[in-house]
Amino acid sequence: MSYSLLLFDYDGTLCDTRNAIKYSLRRTFQEFGLVEPVEPALQAVVQQGLPLAETLLALHPAGTSPLPATWVETYRRIYSAEAEPLVTPFPGAQQVLATAVARGCTVAIISNKGLAILENSLARLGLRAYAALVLGDDPMAATPLPLKPDPALFTQRIQPRFPQFTLATTLMIGDTATDLQFARNCGIAACWASYGFGHAPDCAAFKPAHRIGSLAELLPLVA
108 confidence band (pLDDT: 50, 70, 90): very high
Backbone angles phi, psi at 110, to 5 degrees: -125, 135
Whole-number percent of the chain with pLDDT over 90: 79
Weakest-pLDDT range from 56-70, 72-86, 90-104, 125-139: 56-70
Question: How many residues appear in the chain?
Answer: 223
For 102-105, the CB contacts below 8 A with 24+ separation are: 103/222, 103/223, 104/4, 104/223, 105/3, 105/4, 105/5, 105/6, 105/222, 105/223
- 210, 180 in Cβ contact below 8 A? no
> In the predicted model, what is the mean pLDDT of residues 122-141?
95
Residue 35 class from Cβ within 10 Å (0-12 exposed, 13-18 middle, 19+ buried)? exposed
Whether 46 shows a pLDDT value over 90: the answer reads no
49 confidence band (pLDDT: 50, 70, 90): confident
| 5-16+89-221 CATH, one of 3.40.50.2000, 3.40.50.1000, 3.90.1180.10, 3.40.50.2300 | 3.40.50.1000
3-state DSSP call for residue 223? Answer: coil
Whether 1 shows a pLDDT value over 70: the answer reads no
> In the predicted model, what is the mean pLDDT of residues 164-182?
97
d(C-alpha 4, C-alpha 196), whole Å: 23
Give the Cα-Cα-Cα angle 162, 119, 70 (nearest 5 degrees): 115
Question: What residue type is 179 in one-letter code?
Answer: D
pLDDT in tens, 50-66: 788 888 888 887 767 77
pTM tops 0.85: yes
141 confidence band (pLDDT: 50, 70, 90): confident
d(C-alpha 74, C-alpha 22), whole Å: 14
Boundaries of every domain in the chain: 5-16+89-221, 18-86
Neighbours of 127 (CB within 10 A): 22
DSSP 70-101: THHHHHHHHIIIIIGGG-EEPTTHHHHHHHHH
Whether 161 shows a pLDDT value over 90: the answer reads yes
